[in-house]
Amino acid sequence: MKRKTVFIFGAGSTVALGMPPSDQHVEFLREAANTDLSLLGSLYKIAESRFKGKKYDINDVYNLIDTALLLQTGLSGGGEKIEYIDVLRAKRELVAFTFDKFLSIIQERDEKVYEKYVDFYYKLAEKELSDKLCSEADFNDRKFFISDYSIINFNWDLYSLFPIIEANGKLNHENNRYLSCGRLPQLRTYTDFNYECATNLKSEKPWYPFTEPAANIANSEKYDTKRRVILTKAYFPHGLMNSFRCPNCARHSLYLGKLDVKSTCDSLDYRSDKTLYKCINCSGEVSTNDFNVLIQSNFKTRNAFLEETRIKMFCELESAERLVFIGYSLPTDDTDYRTFFKSLCNVKEVFVVLKDGKPTDGFKKIKDENDLVGYSESTKSAAKRYLSTANEIYLNTAGFPEAAADVLNIAK
């Protein structure tokens, strides 16, 4: 790839796999109100009372909750009251209920559609490996071993990283791409997920993702290893549903089952407080209730780990010349991101993939409202938000993964 490209994924990128976009998450609260979760039943009645006769979404609900937490007050309405001490518990119960719904949807996924996502990441990394094979840079030079593209995913679900892991595995087990030096090393691709380690069920030993220092050593002629590495950076600034914060030492780690979606789904249960695994750092007991994510609120409170992730993500965006947004509509709770995107000086092209009833043939240049005639109101609204951050955008309304081939063409 000739230009540094950042692919940015939002909730709309996995709708084809059955995952609900953010504007449908409020339905989970309504569904939870009919379960035995009395706290969420009270929260639903309070929301219905507070927003009586008005359309509201999950952003409104989380804003209501986070406002109470900031003011250290309880919530009341509709004859119900949640004391301040229970507001945070209600918030976490709602997130856990949402994650349980996610698991049900993921377990019933269409494998043929899922493979399209794996294939997308496969072709993206395959193109990068081909480009690097032709590179004249030294193997341990960042220009060589750091990909010319990176990934930012604002989603929590397991589709954020498992298609990447599977795509890397396929590429690295192919018996080709050998370099004509030393021990004739194989050129492999790995992804830095910005987690130090992960727990998995395949081995008692922790799973360590490749990091930049490790890639530099692996690519050094001094050690002449059997492989050379191309490393892609991936960032999850809102956290992941299989990322957990140890309640004992506050360190974060990933849980990856047997390094596949199925085994991870089978062993995650957000209705249970049983120990899921022992913390790699301090051996403390970590359960599914120890998840740590940012929700769709305008009052996001980040801990040190998520704030560091955001800082790294911003640094990555500063060097980008091309942004490719996939299923991301610049929602109202991401106003800080919108300002940051607007301030980027090096970006020369902005591509946006959304789903609309009027699919386009490839990417269409959009400069103002006159270019949006015929699109749905939701697409127009999202496009206008993008136009407030860039002078022009290239819009594709085929959705994802239908637009995968068009997106991959950008990388040529």
Residue 215 and residue 49: Cα distance in Å, rounded?
A: 55
**Regions of the chain with pLDDT less than 50:** 1
Q: Is the peptide bond before 247 cis (omega within 30 degrees of 0)?
A: no
Rounded Cα distance between 41 and 57, Å, is: 16
User: Per-residue pLDDT tens for 33-68?
Assistant: 887 678 999 999 999 999 998 999 999 999 999 999
Q: What is the pLDDT of residue 109?
A: 95
What is the model's pLDDT at position 135?
83
At 332 the pLDDT is: 81
Q: What is the pLDDT of residue 36?
A: 67
Q: What confidence tens digit (pLDDT) does each residue in 81-113 have?
A: 999 999 999 999 999 999 999 999 999 999 999
| pTM of the complete model beyond 0.85 | yes
State the pLDDT at residue 247.
95
Give me the DSSP letters along 273-322.
-SEEEE-TTT--EEEGGGB----S-SS----HHHHHHHHHHHHHHHT-SE
Report pLDDT for 1. 47
DSSP string, 194-223: S-S-EE-SS-SSPB----HHHHHHHT-TTT
Query: What is residue 81's predicted lDDT score, i.e. its pLDDT?
Result: 95
pLDDT value at residue 185: 85
Contact between 52 and 35 (Cβ < 8 Å): no
Dist. CA 89–CA 96, nearest whole Å: 10
Residue 214 Cα to chain centre, angstroms: 24
Q: Which residues contact 172 (CB under 8 A, 6 or more apart)?
A: 186, 188, 189, 190
3-state helix, strand, coil in the chain (%, to 5): 40, 20, 40
pLDDT of residue 138: 87
